[in-house]
Structure formats: structure tokens, C-alpha cells
């Protein structure tokens, strides 16, 4: 249906849902949006922090006290610009929804819905970055220090942090936001159902996406090269510890392009011996070059050296070099022996 100016109008169902979404967005301003819960033996009832649009609530002071011991920054409302702007953003989207319902113009509704989806994505990215910042940038003078340990809570779900189990889930406001997103998505599909040019464009997009997917599959299948290990953030696929020492590490790349990363040769050896992967699926194995930090070299082209004094993370005390000269240089500094990868696997 079109209005007097010739512009296409939204349906009455979409108009009503736009009003309800606007009201719901106002409610979100006054209720908790997210919650992080910590469970540990010394806190049988658990600790909970609630994140509102404009403040933090719950057991914030107790959590700050615990954070101090492990070197995490304490949490204060004034440290987050988000608490200043979020209520206004929710208010803006609520008013936008009311205006959309009043005007009933499809283009206006499309802009509102897509802007909301973009905001939701950016909000989750911002939340993840906030968790990463607080979980990784630790005070080096903290009373409790665990090498390689980070304390980033999960974005959503569960994660074990020392003796604390950390749960991260939406609160009332988060679930309301999810319902708003689903409602807007449903209305968006409903309003576009008769837009033939749109569906032609979607068909073209699907074909393009299929072509891109095929290219990616071919690329992944043909590429057996190593993928960078992100030290201080990637976890070992065997012992689950954070890979923190850039002089040690290993990697398996399957024929299909899947990557397994390890913090020590001990872990990749145990991973293979435990049958965690079918050896027929392995495309290539790489080791970190001890003489060139973070540089990965193919196992078949590497030279392994064992010495107690190298002190590898998980006790293999075995390192890899990309050249014989590099190995011999370090051999004069450490008392040890050269071994092959096959010999190391048999020990």
C-alpha cells in the first residue's frame, strides 16, 4: 500500500510491533541487560555482577577485591563511557520506532531495523573488547600471578578461571533486546516478501555467496601453510593452557585447513599419541623456530634439540631450529643432543 506521496507503507502488524519495540527499548534502560556470575567453593551462593545501561550492580565491590589480588583493574561506573551514552542510544531507537510507526514508511522502517542490527553487533564487539582488556592487561605486581593465565570471562556461556566458574548470560534487558531483534527481523522479512526486485537481488547474492564459498573451500583445501599463533591469547589444544612463550610451540594443519595449536612439543606428541586426530587427516606439522620467535617452520625441514636448560613450558625441553647452523650455535650454550622428530615421538 502507498500513501498520498506515493511512498510504500508498512503493514499494520509492523506498525504495532514498531510501537511495542519502542516501548520495550525504554524498559531496557531500567533493567539489567547482562549478568556475570562467579561460583567457587568459598562463595557457595555465588557472586553476581549485573550490567545495566547506566551502571554496574550486584557484588561489584567483592569482585573488585578479588580482582585486586590477581592484578585485574577494579570496575567503576565512571571508567565506562558506555554508561553515559547507552541510555540515550536506547531512547533514540525507541523514538525512532515511534516515528516509524507514525509515518508508516517502509524505507524509514528498513533504516531503523538495519541500524538496530548494526548497533547490536557493535555492542557485542565492544563488550568482548571490554572483557578482553580487563582479563589480559594485568598488574605485574599482583599478589597472585600464574604465568600465561588470563582472566577474560566468556562472552556468553561458561569458562573456568582458576577455582572460579564464570558464567555470562543475558539478563532481562538482554532477552528483551533479543526479542526486539527477532521481531524486527520477522517484520523485515514480512515487508520484503512482495518486493520482487529485492528477491532478485537476494538470488544474485546467494549465487555470489555460493561462488565465494567454493573459492574459499578450494583455497583452504590447497593451502597447507601454517596459521599464526597468537601468543597470550590462543590456548593449547591439548593442555588448554594459554600459549605464552613465543620461542616454543607447534601446530597441526589438517588437509581440510583445520588448525590445532600447542604450547610445547610435549603437547603435540601427547595429542598424536592419544589419537585425538587421524594421522591420515594431517596436512602438515609445524614447529616454532627457537632462534626466531613466533616463526613457524615445517617439521620435515626442522632440526630438533633436547637440553634440560631450555625449560620448555610443559617439560619436553625440546626445541626446533630452521637451520643446522642455528642449532649448532645454541648447542654451544646448552648441554644437550640433536634428535629427529621420529625419534622424539618414539621416546
Each residue of 52-61: pLDDT tens digit?
A: 999 999 999 9
Check: CB of residue 51 under 8 Å from CB of residue 227.
Answer: no
Does an H or E element contain 113, and which?
helix 106-136
Check: CB of residue 69 under 8 Å from CB of residue 144.
Answer: yes
Three-state SS for 278?
A: coil
Is it the case that residue 100 has pLDDT exceeding 70?
yes
Check: CB of residue 59 under 8 Å from CB of residue 51.
Answer: no
pLDDT attached to residue 306: 92
Neighbours of 216 (CB within 10 A): 11
How many helices (H) and strands (E) are present in the chain, helices listed first?
A: 9, 12
Is it the case that residue 325 has pLDDT exceeding 60?
yes
pLDDT attached to residue 67: 82
Task: Assign 210 a pLDDT band (cuts: 50, 70, 90).
Answer: low
CA-based nearest residue to 66, from 137, 9, 144: 144
Three-state SS for 313?
A: coil
Three-state SS for 60?
A: helix
Three-state SS for 144?
A: coil
Give the predicted TM-score (pTM) of the model: 0.56
| Triad 244, 309, 151: Cα angle to 5° | 20
CA-based nearest residue to 131, from 112, 157, 109, 106: 157
Amino acid at each position: 500500500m502507498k500513501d498520498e506521496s506515493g511512498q510504500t507503507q508498512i503493514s499494520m502488524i509492523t506498525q504495532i510491533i514498531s510501537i511495542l519495540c519502542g516501548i520495550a527499548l525504554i524498559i531496557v534502560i531500567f533493567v539489567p541487560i547482562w549478568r556475570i556470575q562467579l561460583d567457587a567453593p568459598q562463595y557457595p551462593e555465588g557472586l553476581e555482577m549485573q550490567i545495566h545501561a547506566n551502571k554496574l550492580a550486584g557484588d561489584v565491590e567483592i569482585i573488585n577485591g578479588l580482582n585486586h589480588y590477581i592484578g585485574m583493574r577494579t570496575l567503576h561506573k565512571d571508567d565506562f563511557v558506555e554508561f553515559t551514552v547507552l541510555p540515550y542510544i536506547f531512547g533514540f531507537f525507541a523514538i525512532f520506532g515511534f516515528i516509524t510507526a507514525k509515518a508508516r514508511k517502509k524505507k524509514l522502517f528498513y533504516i531503523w531495523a538495519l541500524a538496530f542490527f548494526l548497533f547490536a553487533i557493535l555492542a557485542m564487539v565492544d563488550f568482548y573488547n571490554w572483557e578482553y582488556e580487563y582479563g589480559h592487561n594485568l598488574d605485574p605486581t599482583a599478589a597472585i600471578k600464574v604465568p600465561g593465565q588470563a582472566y577474560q570471562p566468556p562472552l556468553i556461556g561458561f569458562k573456568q578461571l582458576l577455582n572460579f566458574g564464570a558464567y555470562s548470560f543475558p539478563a532481562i534487558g538482554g532477552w528483551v533486546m533479543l526479542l526486539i531483534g527477532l521481531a524486527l527481523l520477522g517484520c523485515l522479512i514480512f515487508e520484503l516478501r512482495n518486493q520482487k526486485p529485492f528477491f532478485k537481488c537476494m538470488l544474485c547474492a546467494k549465487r555470489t555467496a555460493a561462488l565465494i564459498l567454493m573459492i574459499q573451500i578450494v583455497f583452504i583445501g590447497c593451502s597447507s601453510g601454517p596459521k599464526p599463533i597468537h601468543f597470550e591469547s590462543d590456548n593449547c589444544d591439548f593442555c588448554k593452557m594459554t600459549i605464552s612463550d613465543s620461542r616454543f610451540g607447534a601446530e597441526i594443519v589438517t588437509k581440510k585447513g583445520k588448525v590445532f595449536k600447542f604450547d610445547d612439543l610435549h603437547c603435540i606428541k601427547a595429542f598424536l599419541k592419544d589419537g585425538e586426530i587421524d594421522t591420515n587427516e594431517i596436512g602438515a606439522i609445524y614447529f616454532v623456530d627457537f632462534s626466531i620467535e613466533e616463526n613457524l617452520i615445517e617439521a620435515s625441514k626442522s632440526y630438533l634439540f633436547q637440553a634440560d636448560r631450555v625449560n620448555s613450558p610443559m617439560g619436553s625441553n625440546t626445541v626446533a631450529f630452521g637451520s643446522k647452523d642455528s642449532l649448532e650455535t645454541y648447542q654451544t650454550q646448552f648441554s644437550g643432543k640433536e634428535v629427529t622428530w621420529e625419534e622424539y615421538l618414539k621416546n
